[in-house]
């Protein structure tokens, strides 16, 4: 656990030191769970957004993208169920005065049991070597079987109590498991209460006539209320999808873990409108498609897993998370939800407007069903950033810090260095930049010895460094160094663009989705 915490602290400090993420309003001591993206962070975030948008909108003939407003008519949130049901169960510790999500306290307890199982598995794998059969071990080792049953029964009881709104039983469970406040160790808990996560605001200047609004807690509703507008203006035929990226706001009770859980964050969502009865088929297709998108970035297939929901949100008939191995363990990165006709049906009722589709094949009209894919852009940023940050031991015994970002997402694609600050080398380096800048983000760096400049760019995540030296003046060649392998090649200046393009071309990366 200490190593995990240490690794995570390194991620946070690296993000600040290299201009990726800053605490919001830091000069005023910051605002809890609100962050700003800095010069490199804004580029990485933009590239992730584009990688998602192209995969969704450009590569699918039947998906279009929109950009709906953050502020919406207040009835939207009555219809969507957020006013009544977008709550988390909270509990306070009376001694430390710290507030927690009651369900998260219990889930973390169960996760600790799962960690014990993983430890038993790795001990046994070492003991049995090549003959180890993990499946058989999980089914037959009595201690592990007991652990699995304990974790499952805790989560089942939690799921049942939450579904039945039995908050007294959630508190009883916390007491029975002897869960203590992680900050103080105290077990002096208040009752569990429901807490609505939406931020309220006002529309209008005069206090008496101002209308109460909410900042949207998800982007999805901007898509639902526009369903018919898009379908008619785009002459869309079911099945079709509407995609959108944009800010969402949640007054999270537990807002720790850096940009994993924020109060202001960005979502990338796609609602796929389908014929009722076909939801299972589309749910499976989108699960597969989204996992392929993740795998295409080459961050290790073993770092992803599906986690099906036991407790379904008020709108869903099936739901799964794509979980990623963050520095603090496997956690939700993306949700895939079969939302039935709940949202469109409810907006029909509340607005009094028909939100139906006439299906020319069936010669009938119906309220379409929806399968949604919903990923947090900030969470994806954290997944990419934390997975890429490595400390490497080099052959000469020294270490280097390198940010091995997928090259397609790297904020800066190349840095150009003159070997020395004289003899016309800086001018030549600038000429190379002037040529490359039309295709890529490139930077100039002349400070310090070349070795230190390499290290700086490694830590920054720049895939290529190009060095201009005296030989360049004679034969128009430069050295190009690759971040991950540290290999250097001597190449003609005229060939540099193609070398960079081959590694960073979005099409090539997206084609890995198959």
Interface residues toward ligand GAP, by CB under 6 A: 218, 220, 250, 252, 261-262, 265, 267, 269, 332-335, 372, 374-376, 378-379
* DSSP state letter for 58: I
E strands of 28-124, at which residues? 35-37, 63-66, 87-92, 99-101
Smallest separation (angstroms) from ligand GAP to the CB of 460: 25
The maximal CA–CA distance of the chain, rounded, in angstroms, is: 81
> Nearest distance from residue 220's CB to ligand GAP, in Å?
4
The H or E element spanning position 482 is: strand 477-482
Residue 191 C-beta: closest distance to ligand GAP, Å: 25
Pairing state between β 193-196 and 464-468: unpaired
Instruction: Compute the least distance from the CB of residue 242 to ligand GAP, in Å.
Output: 13
41 or 418, CB closer to ligand GAP? 41
Residue closer to ligand GAP, measured from CB, 216 or 483: 216
Pick the closest to residue 513 from 56, 93, 36, 146 (CA basis). Answer: 56
Q: Give the end-to-end CA distance of the chain in Å, rounded to a whole number.
A: 38
**H or E element in which residue 488 lies:** strand 488-492
Full 3-state SS string of 418-450? ECCCCCCHHHHHHHHHHHHCCCCCEEECCCCCH
Give the nearer residue to ligand GAP in terms of CB position, either 262 or 442: 262
Coil, strand or helix at 174: helix
Residue facing ligand GAP at closest CB distance: 376
DSSP 56: I
d(CA 434, CA 440): 10
For ligand GAP, which is the closer residue by CB, 336 or 414? 336
Q: Which of 70, 11, 472, 6 is nearest to 258 (CA)?
A: 11
Residue 333 or 415: the one with the smaller Cβ distance to ligand GAP is: 333
Structure tokens at 106: 């219990």
- Nearest approach, Cβ of residue 513 and ligand GAP (Å): 20
- The residue among 265 and 417 lying less far from ligand GAP, judged by its C-beta, is 265
**CA–CA separation, 403 and 387 (whole Å):** 9
207-217 in b/e form (b: 16+ CB < 10 A) is eeeeeebbbbb
Residue whose CB is less far from ligand GAP, 258 or 417: 258
Of 372 and 458, the one with the shorter C-beta distance to ligand GAP is 372
- DSSP, collapsed to helix, strand or coil, labels residue 64 as strand
For residue 269, the minimal CB distance to ligand GAP (Å) is: 6
Contacts of 40 (CB under 8 A, 6+ apart): 18, 19, 20, 411, 412, 460, 461
Return the residue matching tokens 């490694």.
Answer: 458
β-strand pairing of 399-403 with 389-393: antiparallel
Residue among 239 and 376 whose Cβ is closer to ligand GAP: 376
Least gap, CB of 151 to ligand GAP (angstroms): 22
Task: Name the minimum Å distance from CB 340 to ligand GAP.
Answer: 14
Q: How far is the CB of 496 from ligand GAP (least distance, A)?
A: 37
Least CB distance to ligand GAP at residue 267 (A): 5
If the CB atoms of residues 265 and 509 are measured against ligand GAP, the closer one turns out to be: 265
């Amino acid at each position: 656990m200490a190593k995990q915490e240490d690794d995570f602290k390194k991620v946070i400090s690296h993000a600040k030191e290299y201009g990726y993420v800053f605490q919001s309003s830091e000069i005023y001591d910051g605002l809890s769970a609100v962050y700003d993206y800095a010069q490199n962070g804004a580029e990485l975030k933009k590239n992730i957004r584009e990688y998602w948008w192209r995969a969704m909108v450009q590569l699918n003939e039947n998906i279009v993208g929109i950009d709906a407003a953050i502020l919406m008519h207040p009835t939207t949130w009555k219809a969507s169920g957020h006013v009544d049901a977008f709550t988390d169960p909270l509990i306070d510790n009376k001694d430390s005065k710290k507030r927690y999500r009651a369900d998260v306290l219990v889930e973390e307890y169960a996760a600790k049991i799962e960690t014990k199982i993983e430890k038993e598995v790795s001990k046994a794998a070492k003991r049995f070597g090549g003959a180890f059969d993990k499946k058989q071990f999980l089914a037959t080792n009595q201690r592990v079987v007991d652990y699995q049953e304990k974790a499952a029964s805790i989560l089942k009881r939690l799921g049942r109590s939450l579904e039945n709104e039995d908050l007294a039983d959630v508190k009883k469970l916390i007491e029975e498991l002897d869960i203590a406040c992680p900050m103080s160790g105290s077990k002096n808990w208040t009752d569990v209460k429901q807490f609505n996560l939406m931020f309220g605001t006002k529309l209008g200047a005069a206090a008496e006539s101002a209308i109460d609004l909410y900042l949207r807690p998800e982007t999805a509703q901007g898509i639902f209320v526009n369903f018919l507008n898009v379908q008619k203006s785009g002459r869309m035929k079911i099945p079709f999808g509407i995609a959108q990226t944009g800010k969402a706001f949640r007054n999270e009770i537990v807002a720790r873990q850096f940009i994993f859980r924020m109060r202001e964050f960005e979502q990338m969502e796609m609602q796929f409108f389908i014929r009722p009865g076909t939801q299972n088929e589309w749910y499976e297709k989108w699960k597969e498609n989204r996992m392929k998108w993740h795998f295409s970035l080459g961050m290790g297939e073993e770092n992803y897993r599906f986690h099906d929901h036991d407790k379904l949100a008020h709108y869903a008939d099936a739901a799964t998370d794509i979980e990623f191995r963050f520095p603090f363990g496997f956690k939700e990165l993306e949700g895939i939800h079969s939302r039935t006709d709940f949202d469109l049906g409810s907006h029909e009722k509340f607005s009094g407007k028909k939100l139906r589709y006439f299906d020319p094949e069936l010669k009938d009209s119906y309220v379409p069903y929806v399968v949604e894919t919903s990923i947090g852009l900030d969470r994806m940023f954290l997944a990419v950033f934390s997975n890429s940050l490595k400390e490497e031991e080099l052959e000469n015994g020294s270490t280097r810090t390198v940010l091995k970002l997928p090259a397609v997402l790297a904020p800066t694609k190349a840095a150009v260095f003159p070997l020395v600050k004289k003899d016309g080398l800086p001018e030549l380096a600038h000429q190379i930049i002037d040529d490359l800048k039309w295709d890529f983000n490139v930077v100039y760096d002349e400070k310090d010895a070349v070795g230190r400049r390499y290290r700086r760019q490694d830590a920054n995540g720049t895939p290529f460094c190009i060095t201009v030296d005296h030989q360049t003046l004679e034969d128009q060649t430069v050295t190009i160094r690759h971040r991950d392998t540290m290999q250097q090649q001597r190449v003609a200046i005229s060939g540099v663009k193609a070398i960079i393009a081959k590694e960073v071309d979005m099409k090539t990366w997206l084609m890995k989705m198959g």
